[in-house]
Chains A and B, each alone.
Chain A
Amino acid sequence: MTVIQVFHYEQRMSVTLQCPGYPEDTLRSLADRLPCRETQLKSLLSLMGQPDQYSYPSFFIYGHRATGKSHVVLSVMKDLELPHASVDCVECVSSGLLFHQVLSAFFGPDAAALLPRCPSLSDFVRLYKQMSSNSPATQTRYIILDRAERMRDMDFSLLPALLRLQELVNDNVTVILLSEIVWEKFRPNTGCFEPLLFHFPDYSKVELVQILSWDHHPSYTPELYASYINILLGVFFSVCRDLRELRHLAALNFSKFCEPLEKGEAKESDIHKLWKNIEPHLQRAMQTVYLREVSSVQWEQQQMDEKEATTLRVLSAHAHIELPYYSKFLLIAAYLASFNPARTDRRFFLKSHGKIRKTNFLKKHEKTSNHLLGPKPFPLDRLMAIFYSVVDSRVAPTASIFSQISSLVTLQLLSQVGHDDQLDSPKYKCSVSLDFILAISRTVGFDVVKYLYDFL
């Protein structure tokens, strides 16, 4: 389906979109502003019903990131001028903040100020009832809770109560939950009122092209921009379907795409030439900008500077960490302790260990690679024992050695595990990768692979 056809299709849709109780021209402009979400818009409107009618008590809208959930709902609310309170649950460290925001959106900040210091759910319901009896709802009031998955971490009674808030406060109010995960993950043990589930599917490639073509540059034709978007999606669609990311990338790279046009080297119709120009550039962008290895500002500057030899140092390029000498050995010892079974320590660190072959002391569950299983916790004593045997000089067990362990923990190179017996024998895990430890041991001239059970 070409872009032009899509436009026609959509226009047909917007004509058919009409709901009683809402002004028709607003609806039409709304449909124009929400491309590729006509079906969702229509169902949402029909679920909401006429503004003065009671609506269903609670909706649950889910779908992946950037599928237009909040955008559709909030545009509907704003354009149709419905009374609503929009709350992002990330912000609500306590339920009190949520109540505060809802009350101040519906009844003004004065009402919200009436809330006690640490409001409970019943405080909120009482206050809501009191307020709504003074100013009963003429239209359905909507409470929109974005990132609703955060509600699960709050008070356990909050979610069931909000789902049937309509009943509790006896007012025309509807709660809309927006989330990226499915309802099954929300349902509390005790059971609750089931909201209406409503799915926003991912955009297809055609839809993405259509939406991305919307913000075309004013000085170029929409057709050119659409072909640019097609090229962009050709590169990025396989790794990223997030509309926001794609939009960001489209905006970042468009100036590069237009470069031949501005220099007069190509015409707008020379799509192939333009493609050849932009394609390697986009490939590079996929490795750097998309992963945020290079900030967008640096990327732009690089485009302006037009240096072909990439002098930009990406984030992961400086993975090198400078550590004090003994810290390096402590880290190596921790790595060995994490990835070697404790029984094998004799084999590696005792001088006269005899002839113990790998097959002899191999237990069944140890046949799988320890590196696949991940690091195992080890006690401090074992770490120190290995440390003294790997470090080549005599080291006194001073406080500065022990304080290095705790600084390694703060640097997140080691992590402390377990809660019991923290004082006498704390347990640690080594949380660095094999590559990292190889690099570290190379700087101190220590062959770590020789001491790893997995590589025996």
Chain B
Amino acid sequence: TCTTSQKGCFVFKSASKKRKRQLGVGGYLVDDSDDNGSDRFRIGQKLWETVQMNTEVIQDQLNKKVLDSLAEFIKKHGLGCSSDVWRQRASEIPTAALMLGVNVPDHAMTFRSLCNLLQDSVTPFVVSVHAKECAGLLIQKVLEQLMGSGVSVDEEKEDDTALLQRTPCTISALCQWYKTVTKKCIQVSPERKENLTNNDLPQSLPVVVIFKDFEAFNSQVLQDFILICSRYTQELPFVFIFGIATSPSAIQHRLPHSVSSLLCIEVFHSLSCTQHLASVFDKLILNAQFPFKLSSRVIQVLVGVFLYHDFNVQNFVKGLQFSMLEHFNSQPLSLLCCQKQEALLSAKTLSKQNVEQIRHLPSFMRYVETQEPQEQVRLLTNDEHVKEVCQTLLKNLHKYHKNYYPILQCLHSLTSSLPKFPLGKHIRELHVSCIEKNLWETEEYDSALQLLRILAKDELVAALRKCAETLKSANTKRMQNALQQLEDFIGRLETLEDSSGNGVISAKMEYQKTDLFQLQKTLLEKESRRTKRMNSFEVLRSQVMDFIDSLVREYLTPAEFQPLNEVCYYSSSGVLRHHPFYYLKVTDHSFRLTRAQLEKQERLTVFQLAKNAFVDAGY
């Protein structure tokens, strides 16, 4: 099986490529029978850029903490080195073990921002090495990057590179270079030094070496490098950063004690990839502001690939972007998949073809069936009327989304603390089951509600407060109403005083001397009394649950039942699943190739490049 997939994965560029490229920017989405291709392209491109921007922002936010603490660590060692006399004697090299998780492709971005951060705020001497680049030539690579970059003294650049060719490839050469450069640094730009290290000695500018993929390094090469560097710690303040994908014990497995005793290791944890995915999910999928939506099947495919195969957030985002491309390419009505005002505007100016396409939408057909016969006729014959109805339907769809997400979050915050997670541990699972079918008809929902009905008072109040918190950020009228009711419930729950009937009984029982039979009787009595008569808290609790249930039934209806949902929802999971994007990595490779070729010719947007790659691959 392996061999066949390997043999079958060569991608040949189609002969008609040249012709296609002449179509121009928006041309790829233009169909012969359709005239709004360029509009769809524009909308799609905008969304694409939003996705790109948002993922970068999320990544930055998530990494900020760990990157800051790393920079702090390096600063601390850069400054405080001289005071720790004994550590120098033992020639320990400060080392940060950065735990990144096994989703290796996501690391590139982290390292890029780490490099930038360090170069901006700590030291210009940052080298990052990749195992593949330096099988046996680690030192050479480090030297090249450090000395070749002509660090801060720009006018000396040519001399430096010439020097490198003549100087032998040793750390002692690096020492010489480091001395001259730091000296120059002071002479050339004293003010720059001030903001770098707060008037400290020039020697305290550490040389940071980042090993991007620690596991992949040849351990012998690594050992030698560490041994050599430890000889020069007095002259060259090295700091290492190991990017570790598995676990910190990998260090001990790769390095013998004689070498690892030269390191002073501190462990830093970056956020786990599942948390990363959750925040991407929150931002891009569980967001009413983002008009493009995925159907439950598509989400399941994407999340499945993430959880079962690669733990790779970038791949997930790529999948999202790909389904966006498919959506805007295959669905002419995706013209309406944009912000509310814009969508209403374009709904007014729908072409005849588009109106016809709307009439053929399954959800619209269902809608027509529910109308009066007279209205039905009008909807099927009068184009203008369809456009008007379409506008109201679009408004409704947007309203639906605005109400859907807050309620979803409420329900999640209520059920996520229940034992065994009947409705799923993550909000994405809840979301999938909500848009798939009527949630309230499932067994899981019933069991969740049953569990909720036996919550203790303080737990219930805490959960409701969380709900109120999420509802506060929603700004529709209905949500405000719901919020008011909820707060009312919370108030009533809090003012409720404890019923102390039970306590009295148990106190009485202690005094009586009873035999077994009598005890059984009293217990049974007590039990029956309880079932008969609910105390006021229990009454209130069931009221709250009924309220929650009504909210769920009203707002968490499956998206399929919304008329015109096809405009926003991309649902062909089969296309996604059988697309080589997920099947063969080679497609990814060809994508990169095309990209490189194209960038030479003209500067194109990423959106277009991706499109080209898919077209070239023959899809």
Contact = CB atoms under 8 A, between A and B. Distances in A.
Interface of A: 65, 88, 90-91, 93, 96-97, 100, 244-245, 247-248, 251-252, 291-292, 295-298, 313, 315-316, 318-327, 380, 384, 397-404, 407, 410-413, 423-424
B215 A411 contact: yes
Contacts of B94: 297
A97 B260 CA distance: 26
A324 B246 contact: no
B423 to A, nearest CB: 21
B164 interface: no
A407 B104 contact: yes
A308 to B, nearest CB: 22
A398 B311 contact: no
B566 interface: no
A316 B129 CA distance: 25
24 contacts: A65-B258, A88-B231, A90-B227, A91-B228, A244-B90, A247-B89, A292-B265, A295-B264, A296-B87, A296-B92, A313-B267, A315-B265, A315-B267, A318-B99, A322-B102, A322-B274, A323-B311, A324-B102, A327-B102, A399-B5, A399-B586, A403-B310, A403-B585, A404-B309
Given A91-B170, A320-B247, A400-B305, A295 B86 contact: no
A109 B274 CA distance: 57
B518 interface: no
Give the one of A245, A326, A404, A410 with max B CB within 10 A.
A410
Contact of A412 (B169, B215, B306): B215
A91 B1 contact: no
B2 A248 contact: no
Interface string B226-267: 011001000000000000011111111110011011011111
Nearest to B1: A397
A298 B216 CA distance: 28
A298 B264 CA distance: 9
B43 interface: no
B272 A322 contact: yes
B538 interface: no
A173 B4 CA distance: 66
Give the one of B139, B224, B246, B253 with max A CB within 10 A.
B246
Give the one of A295, A322, A399, A404 with max B CB within 10 A.
A399
B101 interface: yes
B517 interface: no
B311 A97 contact: no
A144 to B, nearest CB: 14
B165 to A, nearest CB: 10
Contacts of A291: 252, 257
Interface residues of B, number: 66
B361 interface: no
B51 to A, nearest CB: 22
Given A244-B90, A292-B257, A399-B584, A319 B249 contact: yes
B583 interface: yes
A407 B171 CA distance: 33
A397 B168 contact: no
Nearest to B315: A400
Interface of B: 1-3, 5-6, 9, 86-87, 89-90, 92, 94-95, 97, 99, 101-102, 104, 136, 139, 168-172, 213, 215-216, 224, 227-228, 231, 245-254, 257-258, 260-261, 263-267, 272-274, 305-311, 582-586
Nearest to B305: A400
A220 to B, nearest CB: 16
A322 B104 contact: no
B9 A399 contact: yes
* Complex A-B, nearest 10 residue pairs according to Cβ-Cβ distance, in ascending order: A251-B86, A397-B1, A400-B309, A315-B248, A325-B308, A399-B584, A295-B264, A248-B90, A316-B249, A321-B246
A326 B215 contact: no
B308 A322 contact: no
A99 to B, nearest CB: 10
A297 B228 contact: no
Given A93-B139, A245-B261, A322-B311, A412 B2 contact: no
A323 B139 CA distance: 33
Contacts, number: 140
A91 to B, nearest CB: 5
A326 B309 contact: yes
A25 to B, nearest CB: 27
B542 to A, nearest CB: 36
A404 B585 CA distance: 11
A400 B310 CA distance: 8
Contacts of B104: 407, 410
Contacts of A323: 102, 311
B99 A424 contact: no
A404 to B, nearest CB: 7
Given A319-B247, A326-B308, A93 B264 contact: no
A254 to B, nearest CB: 10
Contacts of A251: 86
A139 to B, nearest CB: 25
B252 A399 contact: no
A318 B247 contact: yes
A403 B584 CA distance: 9
A404 B310 contact: yes
A315 B251 contact: yes
Contacts of B584: 399
Contact of A380 (B2, B99, B172, B260): B2
A325 B583 CA distance: 17
A401 to B, nearest CB: 7
A401 B309 contact: yes
A397 B5 contact: yes
A297 B266 contact: yes
A80 B102 CA distance: 56
A2 to B, nearest CB: 26
Contacts of B102: 321-324, 327, 407, 411
Given A97-B168, A244-B90, A292 B263 contact: yes
A207 B264 CA distance: 28
A398 B309 CA distance: 10
A25 B2 CA distance: 77
Contacts of B224: 90
A245 B257 CA distance: 11
B308 A324 contact: yes
Contacts of B273: 322
Contacts of A424: 3
Give the one of A296, A397, A401, A404 with max B CB within 10 A.
A296
Nearest to A431: B253
A251 to B, nearest CB: 4
Contacts of A325: 307-308
B407 to A, nearest CB: 31
A71 B472 CA distance: 72
B264 A296 contact: yes
Contacts of A90: 224, 227-228
A97 B265 CA distance: 31
Contacts of B216: 410
A316 B252 contact: yes
Nearest to A113: B166
A297 B99 CA distance: 19
A413 B246 CA distance: 9
Given A315-B252, A319-B247, A424-B3, A292 B307 contact: no
B90 A324 contact: no
Contacts of A402: 2, 5
A88 B87 CA distance: 21
Contact of A96 (B168, B245, B258, B267): B168
B585 A295 contact: no
A316 B248 contact: yes
Given A295-B263, A402-B2, 8 more contacts: A90-B224, A91-B170, A244-B90, A292-B252, A297-B266, A319-B249, A384-B2, A401-B309
Contacts of B170: 91, 97
Contacts of A412: 215, 246, 250, 253-254
A333 B228 CA distance: 41
Contacts of B257: 291-292
